[in-house]
Chains A and B, each alone.
Chain A
Amino acid sequence: DIQMTQSPASLSASLGETVTIECLASEDIYSNLAWYQQKPGKSPQLLIYYANSLNDGVPSRFSGSGSGTQYSLKINSLQSEDVSIYFCQQNYDSPWTFGGGTKLELK
């Protein structure tokens, strides 16, 4: 199975700040990586697919990058509504696997 290691596990940032979340795959996943946002009490929502493609309706302050085994999610100009848990997930090889999640809070 492909292991996905996400960091940090938690993050505290101020409004307007830029934050970055990292995801490391145990092998090359050839950009087959998605990012999800889960707001408190809600279902996960797809933010980014294929490492850097923004899903419909997702604000442009979100961006994804990376290749090979290393990927990142960047949030520019942090807003209060961005308080969430963020997950990465590989869809290169089954079983599809998730990172452990990053809990983003406001400072």
Chain B
Amino acid sequence: EVQLVESGGGLVQPGASLKLSCVASGFTFSDYWMSWVRQTPGKTMEWIGDIKYDGSYTNYAPSLKNRFTISRDNAKSTLYLQMSNVRSEDTATYYCTRDRSTVATWGYWGQGVMVTVSS
């Protein structure tokens, strides 16, 4: 069974940095592109970015690429999202996702981790 378990969220002050993790199991992690998607408290969905199965390529939403970095450790079956200079509008639930079989069709989602940016 595919499982994606995010961690690392919480309350963070504006301008700070935060790193989210997602531990994957139930599949060969190094075979799949992975992505991060977030959902605001108002339920708006926003794609953050993707990373190739070997970590050699990343693709980001233009509005986030200067502050967010996606990486992975295939030996640990773990996906990361490094968030820097966070803003109040980054307050959201962050989901780790895996493609079903085609690019950006997310057949598997983690349970999500909440990030609240507030002073």
Q: Taking A44-B109, A55-B107 as contacts, is the C-beta distance between A49 and B47 under 8 angstroms?
A: no
- Is A71 engaged at the interface, CB distance under 8 Å to the other chain? no
- Is A62 engaged at the interface, CB distance under 8 Å to the other chain? no
How does the 8 Å CB contact mask read for B81-119 relative to A, with 1 for contact and 0 for none? Answer: 000000000000001000010111111011110000000
Chain A residue nearest to B61 (CB atoms) is A95
Q: Which residues of A in the span 15-37 have a Cβ within 8 Å of any Cβ on B?
A: 34, 36
How many A residues touch B, CB cutoff 8 Å?
A: 21
Q: Please, which residues of chain B bring their CB within 8 A of the CB of A98?
A: 44-47
Chain A residue nearest to B110 (CB atoms) is A43
Q: In angstroms, how far is the closest chain A Cβ from the Cβ of B100?
A: 6
Q: In angstroms, how far is the closest chain A Cβ from the Cβ of B33?
A: 12
Q: Please, which residues of chain B bring their CB within 8 A of the CB of A45?
A: 109
Q: Please, which residues of chain A bring their CB within 8 A of the CB of B109?
A: 43-45
Q: In angstroms, how far is the closest chain B Cβ from the Cβ of A84?
A: 11
How does the 8 Å CB contact mask read for B47-60 relative to A, with 1 for contact and 0 for none? Answer: 10000000000010
- Is A78 engaged at the interface, CB distance under 8 Å to the other chain? no
Interface band, chain B = 20 to 34
Binding site for A on B (CB under 8 A): 43-47, 59, 61-62, 95, 100, 102-107, 109-112
What's the A-B contact tally at a CB cutoff of 8 Å? 50
How does the 8 Å CB contact mask read for A90-101 relative to B, with 1 for contact and 0 for none? Answer: 010011111011
Q: Please, which residues of chain B bring their CB within 8 A of the CB of A50?
A: 102, 105
Chain B residue nearest to A34 (CB atoms) is B105
Q: Taking A43-B109, A45-B109, A55-B107 as contacts, is the C-beta distance between A101 and B102 under 8 angstroms?
A: no
Q: How far is the CA of A91 from the CA of B50 in the complex (A)?
A: 12
Q: Is B43 in contact with A101, judged by CB distance below 8 angstroms?
A: yes
Q: Taking A94-B59, A95-B47 as contacts, is the C-beta distance between A43 and B112 under 8 angstroms?
A: yes
